[in-house]
Amino acid sequence: MNPRVSIQTEDFDLSREVARLREQDKRVGAVCSFIGTVRDRNDGQSISTMELEHDPGMTEKAIEAMIDEALKRFEICAARVIHRVGLLQPLDQIVLVAVSSAHRGESFQACEFLMDYLKTQAPFWKKEQTPEGARWVDARVSDDTALAKWGIESRNA
């Protein structure tokens, strides 16, 4: 069975991941994916590099639980999450969420749900390199608000 969650330093290939997600599953009529990438600006500063730290013991378990929750809430066939860690640069891919389902509505919803969940509940931390030195990225209240629309209280930021 293909893994549902990968935390890795290497880049990922969307086409390959979607092909694996759909593999031999004739129920699938829709695939929705989201990719997060590194911007060259954040909070008014230019960003030269970004370092992503995570908790190796906790991260995969937390995201597996999020996928279980998505499978309960939406009629989806499968889901795949890849999150990169380590040193990244603007233009680099950071995160992939891909979901398959029979009809598009459930894929769209589950993909957004997983992203909103991951943003505030998966143990990753970003540190940006700016012209004025390195800084830890602040959590955003808007991400808590995004999760709240699914009926989950976040209290992250």
Partner 1 sequence: MKVQLRYFASIREAIGSGSETLETAATTLSALRDELIGRGGAHAEALARGKAVRVALNQTMSDETAALTEGAEIGFFPPVTGG
Which parts of this chain interact with partner 1 (CB under 8 A)? Answer: 36, 52-55, 57-58, 61-62, 83, 94-95, 115, 118-127, 136-139, 143, 156-157
Cβ atoms of 36 and 14 closer than 8 Å: no
- Whole-angstrom distance, CA of residue 71 vs CA of residue 146: 19
Residue among 42 and 46 whose Cβ is closer to partner 1: 42
Report the nearest approach of partner 1 to the CB of residue 38 (Å).
Answer: 12
Cβ atoms of 117 and 146 closer than 8 Å: no
What 3-state DSSP class applies to 10?
A: coil
Report the nearest approach of partner 1 to the CB of residue 15 (Å).
Answer: 22
Residue among 42 and 102 whose Cβ is closer to partner 1: 42
Name the residue type at position 44: G
Report the nearest approach of partner 1 to the CB of residue 95 (Å).
Answer: 5
What region, left, alpha or beta, does residue 125 occupy, with left being phi > 0 and alpha being psi -120 to 50 degrees? beta
Report the nearest approach of partner 1 to the CB of residue 132 (Å).
Answer: 17
Phi and psi for 64 in degrees, rounded to 5? -55, -40
Residue among 28 and 137 whose Cβ is closer to partner 1: 137
Residue among 76 and 95 whose Cβ is closer to partner 1: 95
